[in-house]
Amino acid sequence: MSNNHIYILSGLGVDQRVFSKIDFEGLHVTYIDWISPLRKESMSEYAKRMSLQILDAKPILVGLSFGGMMAMEIAKIIEVQKIVLLASAKNDCELPFLYRVIGALKLNRIIPNALLKQHNIIVDYFFGISSQEDKLMLKKILLDTDPIFLGWAINQILNWRNREIPAPVIHIHGDKDRIIPTTKIKPTYLIENAGHFMTMTHAKEIEMLLKRVI
């Protein structure tokens, strides 16, 4: 039984359901809930409010996608033992350059937030999912996502500027990730044939790795 306190941050537009196939038995796990962003709130300000959900000293943060970026920001505020990134980025250099261009031109502002919640074959392609079960799961999660939070979070990703590595990082990434491609990333562990939805599609591999590194 591990005494480490593990706090998990889910990805953008998804919640703890994306970890439903991973068995955390024997680990002390708490999911951090996304909260409604305040008007014009920055990512660092939001991270301060999110960190109030962490009640243990020197926890381990596990962050999926946008949750990983938020984990990097939280680790600047409180002392953490380590950060485990899943399908995420340590700094803005690891994100596609196109994201910065979209953010700079504010092109994301043109798209209605409600439209971002639409599930279609393009979304499935970028998330790297093909099974009906995974498609249905993603569709349900998107339906449940707050469109205001989704719009705010996408804007934060596009404009994220971070070069600081505030704690030891273990980075697990899929080699077929189309949302955060491995082009600029040197992950600690690379999962073969895994896309951005790898906690569902490659759950057993992720589970084994998490238990090894935690």
Q: What is the pTM of this model?
A: 0.91
pLDDT at position 104: 81
> Which tokens belong to 61?
């943060």
176-211 pLDDT, tens digit per residue, is 999 999 999 989 999 999 999 999 999 999 999 999
Counting other chains too, the contacts that 139-145 makes at CB distance below 8 Å and 24 or more residues apart are 140/17, 141/13, 141/14, 141/15, 141/17, 141/18, 142/13, 142/117, 142/118, 143/117, 143/119, 144/15, 145/13, 145/14, 145/15, 145/117
For 145-182, how does the pLDDT look when each residue is reduced to its tens digit (9 = 90+)?
888 898 899 999 999 999 999 999 999 999 999 999 99
Taking residues 58-72, report their average pLDDT.
97
Calculate the average pLDDT of the chain: 91
- Residue 1's pLDDT is 42
pLDDT higher at 19 or 120: 19
pLDDT in tens, 115-129: 667 788 878 888 888
